[in-house]
Amino acid sequence: MHMGPRKVIWIAGATGRIGQAVERLLDHGDYVIITTDTELDVTDHEAVLQYVSINRPNIVINCAAMADEAACEAHPVEAYRVNAMGARNLAAAAWSVGASIVQLSTDDVFSGTERGSYNEFDTVLPRDNAYAKSKIAGENFVRELNPKHVIVRSNWVYGAEPGYWLADLLMAARTGTPFPVAENQLSSPTSVTTLAACIVALIESEEYGLFHAADEGVTSRLGFAREVLRLAGLSDGCLRPVNDPAEARTVNLANLMLTMTGIYTMPTWQDDLRDYLAAHDLLA
* Tens of pLDDT, residues 252-266: 999 999 999 999 999
**Is 31 a known active-site residue?**
no
Q: Is 143 exposed, middle or buried (0-12, 13-18, 19+ CB in 10 A)?
A: middle
Q: 10 has which bridge partners?
A: 34, 60
What average pLDDT does the chain have? Answer: 95
The pLDDT of residue 1:
46
Listing DSSP states for 83-99 in one string gives IIIHHHHHHHHHHHTT-
The three-class DSSP label of residue 284 is coil
Report the distance separating Cα 169 and Cα 255, nearest Å.
28
Q: What proportion of the chain, given as a percentage, has pLDDT over 90?
A: 92
Q: Is 39 exposed, middle or buried (0-12, 13-18, 19+ CB in 10 A)?
A: exposed
| Residue 175 predicted with pLDDT over 50 | yes
Nearest to 241 by CA among 177, 184, 172: 184
Assign 2 a pLDDT band (cuts: 50, 70, 90).
Answer: low
Count CB-CB contacts under 10 A for residue 163: 8
The vertex-138 CA angle with 134 and 143, nearest 5°, equals 150
Choosing from 131, 158, 264, 276, the catalytic residue is: 131
